[in-house]
Structure 1
């Protein structure tokens, strides 16, 4: 049985138009499976962020405020120090730009075109994080429905926000110092990179990524991430053009 009531109230959101309930549940289950490994990295990172927040003098309820307004893990950690130091807004803006500049490149291949509805697209752009991008990058875009993409992002945000709130509440009630949780972010990205490689078995891509990182390390150590991403995207574009030209030459022959 379907109903037109949700569609009339929220015409821009996917998943609210007349469609089988089982299809929605299937998308939710698929997104949960896609993000469960990410959750094992995001939740403890959120715990560490919540603990650091209250240890820095903030009340526990600042954790969800940071995570919902900023929602960028590395920048949220930096924001604690920036706020405490009363950093000028211009410096905050420049720091934000440099730290999150990589998201410009994510948008080139993130399956935003699969998301239906204006409000849904706005949320998907807001919730485009490293983890959400990595999860979708290892999958065939044709197999990603609008609801599945959105639920992947929703689950990723829930893991982070809940981890931050729990960490802040626990840290506020039981003062403690935990060491080593910061490595969870590195371990998480290693796992995501391995999953993406196993899904596509594309050997040249990680080689190009490694060479770009090494070149950036030598040329611009202070701005390594931005330079490495720029070199990597340029290398991928050149590879794409060469591949397309070779395919065209094969057809002409």
Structure 2
């Protein structure tokens, strides 16, 4: 029998935990970088709670430490977070009923929340399980950043190598998991080619251009499929 929309806390946590637990070491990496960029440790939980944008936070550490101009911060935020525009097209926000719930869900939409929210196991989730999942991710990220900031303050390290790759590693794992759930070689190859093409042609705007190209490919593919179905 199909599952009902009523989900227990245990069911939500069971699906979210494998990804959510990765937020602790990733958040700690952010906390370390905050401290060793010359900022006070408490900036780590502030960044994690207020910005809550993963890769942007790692970039924001450098921008804050160097007192970058507001225009630079705004442009960087737009370029890095523009991918959320594409996520929002298929994230199940329509299942969140309250206005405040929609606001919080939109604010805490992350790559990880998207991966869980569109998974087959979460297809019947409604307001409470979706918000619980996003709240857990948010709290775990703040917790990890706080621990990292405190540890970095207490145990100074001259040089931290490889921490900036931690988030990239998580994205790779999410991509592999998404492919396992929906094995589509054409889509995977198209995404890889769009990323490589953007990296070669416009390396300074790779993320935005790769997403735009991939969206165009998906639209063309959808139109071709519709024409084929009509024929």
Of 71, 80, 85 in structure 1, the residue corresponding to residue 61 of structure 2 is 80
Which of 24, 27, 40 in structure 2 is aligned with 1:46?
A: 27
Q: Aligned in 2, Cα 1:157/1:163: closer, same or farther, shift over 3 Å?
A: same
**Consecutive unaligned residues in structure 2, runs of 5 or more:** none
- Match among 71, 74, 78 for residue 97 of structure 1: 78
Give the total of aligned pairs. 227
Aligned to 1:126: 107
The 5 A counterparts of 1:1-253 are 26-139=7-120, 142-176=123-157, 177-249=159-231
Alpha carbons 2:29, 2:163 under 8 Å: kept = yes
1:141 is displaced (CA, Å) by 6.1
Query: Given the superposition, is the C-alpha separation of residues 156 and 59 from structure 1 closer, same or farther in structure 2, using an over 3 Å criterion?
Result: same
Question: Superposition RMSD on alpha carbons, in Å?
Answer: 2.1
Instruction: Call closer, same or farther: CA 1:45–1:96 in 2, change over 3 Å.
Output: same
Q: Which moved more, 1:137-146 or 1:222-231?
A: 137-146
Give the distance between the partners of 1:182 and 1:90, measured in 2 at CA.
24
State the Cα deviation string for residues 94-116 of structure 1 (Å, max 9, x = none).
Answer: 11111111111111111111111
Secondary structure of the 1:226 match is helix
Change (3 A) 1:51 1:207: same
Provide the rounded CA distance (Å) in 2 between the counterparts of 1:163 and 1:196.
25
Partner of residue 14, structure 1 = none
Question: What is the CA-CA distance between 1:247 and the residue it aligns to?
Answer: 2.4
TM superposition shift of 1:27: 3.8
SS in 2 for 1:87: coil
Work out the CA distance in 2 between the residues paired with 1:67 and 1:184: 16
**Residue 24 of structure 1, CA deviation:** 9.7
Deviation at 1:178, TM superposition (A): 4.0
* 8 A contact 2:28–2:149 mirrored in 1: yes
Using structure 2 for the length normalisation, give the TM-score.
0.89
Q: Gapped runs of 5+ residues in structure 1?
A: 1-22
